[in-house]
Amino acid sequence: MTQRPRLRPFTLGAVRVDDASVFARARDEMLHLARVYPVDRLLAVFRRNAGLDTRGAIPPGNWEDFGHPDERAWSEADYPGREHAPTANLLRGHYAGHFLSMLAMAAAGEDDPALQSKVDELVAGLVEIRDALAATGRYSHYGFLAAYGEWQFSRLEDCAPYGEIWAPYYTCHKLMAGLLDAYELVGNEQALGLANAMGRWVHRRLVRLDPERRQRMWSLYIAGEFGGMNETLARLSAAAEEPRFLETASFFDQESVLEAGASGTDILTDMHANQHLPQLIGYVDEYEQTGEARYLEAAKGIWDQIVPGRMYAHGGTGESELWGPPSTVAGDVGHRNAETCASYNLLKLARKLFAHTLDPTYMDYYERTVLNHVLGSRRAVRSDTSPEVTYMFPVHPGAFREYDNVGTCCGGTGLENHVKYQDTIYFHGQDDLYVNLPIDSELDWEEAGLRVRLRSGYPLGESITLAFEGIATEERTVHLRVPTWAAGDLELRLNGEPTEAKPIPGQYVSLTRTWRSGDELHLTTPARLRAEPAIDDPRQCAIFLGPTLLLARSELTTSLPFPLAGRQEADGGLITDTTATELLADLAQSGVVTLDGIEFEPCWSGQDTKYHMYVRSHDAEIAFGAVESGKPAVAIEILEEPSPSGWYTTAPTIRLHALEADASADTGDRLRLELRISGGDWQPYTAPVLVETEGVQRIEARVTDADGRTGTTGREISVDTTPPRSRATVKELGSSWEITLHATDEVSGVERVQWEGPGTFWGTFQEAFVRAIGPEPQVIEYAATDRAGNEEPRRRLVIPGKDGPR
Ligand SMILES: [Zn+2]
């Protein structure tokens, strides 16, 4: 029994985001890439694998490359084993799948025949490749399509680890999803045929395995990552009217996740976020196709374990791709937070869960994340070759976004992210309309015979206006989501007149009528500046102006102090001497706002600055209030200057000053000073103290006068005086060496590792590199720098020449 969602999205072509919207910047840059990027480059890895002419095309690069020159398109049975078979780029093909999805979305959204024919060209190329693979007779089924042999799948069935294989079903999913998008969005029938055949091949492979084997496979770190295979197969089952694919989808059910989600048991700690997120989307599809409630319950249950307890201010999740402990945000800030493809999947999940439950909190998440993380993940530049999107969108002090990401997971999802901004603005039910996001846009609500224009100036405006054109033949209800950030007096007016409706932030406000041309619905949404504390540390706050997360521009790698104490209203509003309206005008005009001398930019800017997503509420260094009230006070002075990073890279000295209410009095021996470092015992203070302990230290000072009255103050200092340690590991690959550089720094963390060798410059190390063995020995120098700014002396690695000693 199928369970249709209560709401459905409109087609991509029915909604147009305004060219003046902030979202149009990223959309248009990505559409440019969709138009200029050659299909032959996407197909090159497939053609090489199938023995077809690559037409001189260079693959996209990075993860998406030709692989090792000695790699063969081994079948499921003749792979000689990793000792004898050099391989590389074993995820290749996934990027073409995402690119196909992007092209299909762009073609549907733009109604552009050139994009449509590019979809057709890419699909026709894949058909030719699939046929060439089938003609070899080497693969287990004619539906097999990949840019490598079938052996990765049989090795996964033997539970081969990540490293020997990558994630073969992940790539399979991206291809099948792209094909299904090409069919569903622009009606490419060939794509459905290919997806159908792939589905049959997948079914054949998995139906032979006992269920325990499949569970073991899916629990393998990375190797068993299958993206949203269950989602795509459930969709394919409906598109191809083939019930068997629903069974194939269920082969990917991961029982441990389903059970934990449905029972509300938290199992996410240390799990790979993006390995498991797409399957949750698939569970909602499986629920729709089968009516089995546990699928929906599981997806909702796991969602609740992520949002808000594992969510950073911009909506991202995870550290180094893994989830941390429950209800831990500030406590899980590292250097590699918030993988962008995880947010891509959370958004897909949020809109599906909303369509089934009508719970507006899913749309709160959607709005936060699509504006701040997703739009902010696209650099504000044009490129003919790169998606220019982030992988990690980090949240630590002094972070910066590393854009580009051709051929990575986030590069792939990033292609799609920016050409579908219109997909969640409006949903519709039987005869009603849901306006979910206040993005300037126009909707062709064909069923109702209406066009709806939304004007908001979002995210810099303070009202939403819906203007109707056309004449509805019957009454329709319009539900408008009142943004959670709206503050103060909210009013809904129809054609200038107040209505009975009571808008409540975070809820939908509804109005039913027979809509006609000239009707105008107007909601005031006053913005405010607010500080949102991290769930586990009220002193770490993200600053929002209306919906916009503000990033503090600063090179500091220690936490950035910001005066918050005493400025917060009970509802989280922040008291400033500038109104939110003035701040919004500043942002619109100059792209930045200045608060207490610190420059902030919107998280969605697409800029290259170093930033702080969280600021730290700082204590006053001197308890002035105490002085005024007649109590003694104390000040903490640090004799050295910190390095530009904010860290002390030499041990700092602390001096205390006592201040008495009556400045004329002789304070000499009547005041007693004490010092406490990082929660230790209070120690009498007589002379300046050197702080030699490394790390972030809490310094507290206390003063007591003759009458027993005390004053205290405290501040944090960050000390890292030792450089990081790096080492190189090498792997022999016959005629070359693969070199990987590792670095650790227990105190401030590693900022970067750099290296140079003959013919290279002192560049930042990103991933393992290969040096061919030449006649002469080669010297590779490398060194790491920590976030405090300490750099270790250069280390040397010597690669022997051909005839030299090993
Ligand atoms: Zn990713």
Residue pLDDT, tens place only, 104-163? 999 999 989 999 999 999 999 999 999 999 999 999 999 999 999 999 999 999 999 888
Question: 417 CA distance to ligand 1 centroid (A)?
Answer: 12
**Could you tell me the distance, in angstroms and rounded to a whole number, from the CA of residue 183 to the centre of ligand 1?**
25
Q: Which pLDDT tens digit goes with each residue over 419-468?
A: 999 999 999 999 999 999 999 999 999 999 999 999 999 999 999 999 99
Rounded distance from Cα 410 to ligand 1 centre (Å):
4
Mean pLDDT calculated for residue range 178-207: 98
Q: Note the pLDDT of residue 620.
A: 46
Please check whether residues 3 and 55 belong to one and the same domain: no
Query: Separation of 275 CA from ligand 1 center, angstroms?
Result: 10
Question: What is the distance in A from the centroid of ligand 1 to the CA of 413?
Answer: 8
Instruction: Give the lowest-confidence range in 34-43, 437-446, 627-636, 782-791.
Output: 627-636
Q: CA 350 to CA 365: how far, in whole Å? A: 7
Same domain, 415 and 512: no
Torsion angle in degrees (nearest 10) through CA of 233, 239, 243, 245 = -20
CA of 690 to the centre of ligand 1 (A): 45
Q: What distance in angstroms lies between residue 277's CA and the mean position of ligand 1's atoms? A: 11
Domain termination site, one of 703, 719, 735: 719
Vertex 344 angle, CA 403 and 547, to 5°? 85
Measured in Å, residue 524 CA sits from the centre of ligand 1 at 38
| Residue whose token pair is 């990103």 | 766
Interval between CA 146 and ligand 1 midpoint (Å):
20
Count CB atoms within 10 A of the CB of residue 665.
Answer: 11
For residues 480 and 602, membership in a common domain is answered with no
What Cα–Cα distance (Å) separates residue 14 from each residue in 182, 367, 634? Answer: 17, 20, 65
Q: Which residue has the higher pLDDT, 424 or 761?
A: 424
What is the Å distance from ligand 1's center to 746 Cα?
A: 26
C-alpha 338 to ligand 1 mean position (Å) = 9
Query: In the chain, pLDDT over 70 holds for what percent of residues?
Result: 97
- Domain-ending residue, one of 487, 507, 524: 524
Q: What is the dihedral of CA 687, 692, 693, 696, to 10 degrees?
A: 80
Distance 326 CA to ligand 1 centre (A): 22
Q: Are residues 244 and 285 in the same domain?
A: no
Q: Are residues 143 and 8 in the same domain?
A: no
Q: Kindly give the interhelix angle for 409-417 and 22-36, rounded to the nearest 10 degrees.
A: 110
Task: Determine the distance separating the centroid of ligand 1 and the alpha carbon of 302, expressed in angstroms.
Answer: 19
pLDDT in tens, 562-615: 988 788 887 778 888 899 999 999 999 999 999 999 999 999 999 999 999 999
Is residue 806, in this structure, part of any structural domain at all? no
Instruction: Give me the count of residues in the chain.
Output: 806
C-alpha to C-alpha distance for 138 and 668, rounded to whole angstroms: 93
Q: Residue 624: pLDDT band by 50, 70, 90 thresholds?
A: very low
Distance 344 CA to ligand 1 centre (A): 9
C-alpha of residue 386 to centroid of ligand 1, in Å: 15
Percent of the chain scoring above 90 in pLDDT: 81
CA 317 to ligand 1 centroid distance, Å: 11
Quickly state the pLDDT bin for 252 (edges 50, 70, 90).
very high
Residue 239 C-alpha to ligand 1 middle, in angstroms? Answer: 28
Tens-digit pLDDT profile for residues 651-709: 999 999 887 655 555 555 678 999 999 889 999 999 999 999 999 889 999 999 888 88
Name the strands in the sheet holding 8-9, side by side, starting at the edge strand that comes first in the sequence: 8-9, 426-428, 432-435, 476-481, 508-513
Domain CATH number, residue 713: 2.60.40.10
The answer to whether 28 and 110 are in contact (CB under 8 A) is no
C-beta of residue 378 within 8 angstroms of C-beta of residue 414: yes
Q: How far apart are CA 198 and CA 55, in angstroms?
A: 26
What pLDDT digit, counting tens, does each position of 9-44 carry?
A: 999 999 999 999 999 999 999 999 999 999 999 999
3-state secondary structure of 288: helix
Q: What distance in angstroms lies between residue 453's CA and the mean position of ligand 1's atoms? A: 35
Give me ligand 1 centre to Cα 320, in Å: 10
Q: How far is the CA of 348 from the centre of ligand 1 (A)?
A: 15
Residue 200's nearest CA partner among 278, 157, 134, 143 is 143
How much is the average pLDDT of 216-233?
A: 96
514 C-alpha to ligand 1 centroid (Å): 46
What separation in Å is there between the alpha carbon of 617 and the centre of ligand 1? 32
What is the C-alpha R_g of the chain?
A: 29
pLDDT at residue 622, rounded to an integer: 42
DSSP state of 372: I
Task: State the pLDDT confidence band at 806, using cuts at 50, 70 and 90.
Answer: very low
Count CB neighbours of 255 within 10 A.
13
Dist. CA 337 → ligand 1 center (Å): 11
Going from the Cα of 432 to the center of ligand 1, the distance in angstroms, rounded, reads 36
- The pLDDT of residue 621 is 43
Cα(37) to centroid of ligand 1, in Å?
21
Q: Say yes or no to pLDDT of 619 above 80.
A: no
Kindly tell me the burial class for residue 567, based on how many C-beta atoms sit within 10 Å of its own C-beta (0-12, 13-18, 19 or more): middle
Residue 396: both structure tokens together: 């630590």
CATH code, domain with 496: 2.60.40
Q: How many domains does the chain have?
A: 6
User: Is 550 found in the same domain as 516?
Assistant: no
- What was the pLDDT predicted at 450? 97
How far, in Å, from the CA of 353 to the mean position of ligand 1?
22
Residues with a beta carbon under 5 angstroms from ion ligand 1: 339, 341, 409-410
CA of 391 to the centre of ligand 1 (A): 6
Question: What pLDDT is attached to residue 665?
Answer: 52
b/e map of 145-156 (b: 16 or more CB within 10 Å)? bbbbbbbbbbbb
CA of residue 9 to ligand 1 center, whole Å: 26
CA of 409 to the centre of ligand 1 (A): 4
Could you identify the residue written with the tokens 């056309």? 470
Q: Are 579 and 546 in contact (CB under 8 A)?
A: no
Ligand 1 centroid from CA 336, angstroms: 12
Question: 10 Å Cβ neighbour count for 588?
Answer: 11
From the list 640, 702, 647, the residue with the least C-alpha distance to 677 is 702
340-360 pLDDT per residue, tens: 999 999 999 999 999 999 999
Task: Establish if 804 belongs to a structural domain.
Answer: no
CA–centroid distance, 390 to ligand 1, in Å, is: 9
Contact between 786 and 792 (Cβ < 8 Å)? no
How close is the Cα of 749 to the center of ligand 1, in Å?
A: 22
> Two tokens at 172?
């399979």
Confidence (pTM): 0.88
Residue that finishes a domain, picked among 617, 640, 655: 617
Report how far ligand 1's centroid is from the alpha carbon of 398 (Å). Answer: 22
Shared domain for 45 and 121, answered yes or no, is yes
Whether the Cβ atoms of residue 251 and residue 214 lie closer than 8 Å to each other: yes
What is the distance in A from the centroid of ligand 1 to the CA of 210? 31
Calpha distance 719→741 (Å, rounded): 26
Q: Are residues 288 and 269 in the same domain?
A: yes
Q: Is the pLDDT of residue 490 over 90?
A: yes
Whether 626 shows a pLDDT value over 70: the answer reads no
β-bridge pairing 560-562 and 615-617: parallel
Question: Of 508, 550, 496, 502, which is closest to residue 528 (Cα–Cα)?
Answer: 550
What pLDDT score was predicted for residue 662? 59
Query: Quick one: 452 and 433 in the same domain?
Result: yes
At residue 527, the pLDDT reads 96
Predicted local confidence at residue 623, as pLDDT? 43
DSSP letter at 329 equals: S
Residues 228 and 291 in one domain: no
In a domain, 793, yes or no: yes
* Rounded distance from Cα 717 to ligand 1 centre (Å): 35
Single-letter amino acid, residue 475: E
User: How much is the pLDDT for 629?
Assistant: 65
In angstroms, how far apart are the furthest CA atoms of the chain?
Answer: 99
Crossing angle of helices 39-50 and 94-110, in 10° steps, is 150
411 alpha carbon – ligand 1 mean position (Å): 7
Q: For residue 247, how far is its CA from the centre of ligand 1 (angstroms)?
A: 28
| Sequence-distant (≥ 6) Cβ neighbours of residue 617 within 8 angstroms | 531, 538, 539, 540, 541, 561, 562, 563, 564, 565
In this structure, the answer to whether residues 564 and 654 fall within a common structural domain is no
Summary mean pLDDT of the chain: 93
Does residue 644 have a cis peptide bond before it, meaning omega lies within 30 degrees of 0?
A: no
Judge whether 313 lies within some domain.
yes
DSSP for 621-642 reads SS-HHHHHTT--EEEEEESSPP
In a domain, 639, yes or no: yes
- The answer to whether residue 690 is domain-embedded is yes
Distance of CA 373 from the midpoint of ligand 1 (Å): 13
Indicate the residue type of 129.
I
Number of helical H runs and strand E runs in the chain: 18, 34
Domain assignment of residue 805, yes or no: no
Distance (angstroms) between ligand 1 centre and the Cα of 163 equals: 18
Mean pLDDT of 730-744: 84
Q: Is 398 left (phi over 0), alpha (psi -120 to 50) or beta?
A: left
339 C-alpha to ligand 1 centroid (Å): 5
* Unique residue bearing structure tokens 């509420």: 617
Is residue 119 located within the same domain as residue 27? no
Domain assignment present for residue 743? The answer is yes
Expressed as residue numbers, the domain containing 644 is 624-719
Ligand 1 center to 766 CA (angstroms):
16
CA distance 254 to 261: 11
Q: What is the pLDDT of residue 628?
A: 56
Using left for φ > 0, alpha for ψ between -120 and 50, and beta otherwise, residue 270 falls in left
